């Protein structure tokens, strides 16, 4: 019998590695990292450890997290593959001097991909099943993106105005 990675994955799936072990480690690591980075309980990492363990175990109790992760991460992989494809193609044809504008575009593209993925995942749960959302989802998303762009442009112009209105003191001539 030949070794197959596919068979290994099937075996791991039957052992619950993908449904229990990996989601447990992911949730535990995220909660523990956030608690220690924010220094929520001071230098006492034991409390952060216990809280992280409890949250990770309780999150996996009902099976909702497993279903959510099963739906989310394959779509996340596809979204990252699309973004990576654009990065590779742009890097191959655009000179480094002109890359800064494209990097901002990649950031915006990543946010758009993330929004599309989250809408797709949440739609599987029926969160967007109302008539209004089914009829006007595109207009709603466009409106949110438009408002974010207006806020970003407003903040950039305010920053430029504050920098140009900086107070300058004349230097004495004896220096």
Q: Which of 87, 91, 82, 71 is CA-nearest to residue 112? A: 82
DSSP assignment of 66-106, as one string?
HHHHHHHHHHHHHHHHHHHHHHHHHHHHS-GGGHHHHHHHH
Question: Is the pLDDT higher at 35 or at 166?
Answer: 35
Question: Is the pLDDT higher at 104 or at 32?
Answer: 32
Could you count the other beta carbons within 10 Å of the beta carbon of residue 112?
14
**Residue 154, pLDDT above cutoff 60:** yes
Mean pLDDT across 55-73:
90
Band the pLDDT of 156: cuts 50, 70, 90.
confident
Mean pLDDT across 109-123:
87
The pTM assigned to this predicted structure is 0.61
């Amino acid at each position: 019998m030949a070794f197959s990675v596919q068979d290994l994955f099937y075996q791991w799936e039957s052992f619950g590695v993908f449904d229990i072990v990996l989601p447990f480690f992911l949730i535990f690591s995220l909660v523990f990292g956030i608690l220690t980075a924010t220094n929520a309980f001071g230098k006492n990492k034991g409390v952060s450890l216990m809280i992280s363990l409890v949250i990770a175990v309780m999150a996996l109790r009902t099976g909702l997290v497993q279903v959510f992760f099963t739906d989310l991460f394959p779509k996340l992989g596809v979204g990252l593959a699309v973004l990576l494809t654009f990065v590779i193609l742009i890097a191959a044809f655009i000179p480094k001097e002109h890359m800064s504008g494209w990097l901002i575009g990649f950031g915006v593209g990543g946010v758009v991909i993330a929004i599309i993925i989250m809408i797709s995942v949440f739609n599987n749960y029926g969160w967007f099943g109302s008539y209004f959302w089914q009829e006007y989802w595109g207009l709603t998303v466009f409106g949110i993106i438009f408002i974010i762009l207006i806020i970003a442009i407003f903040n950039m112009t305010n920053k430029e105005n504050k920098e140009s209105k900086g107070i300058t003191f004349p230097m004495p001539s004896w220096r």
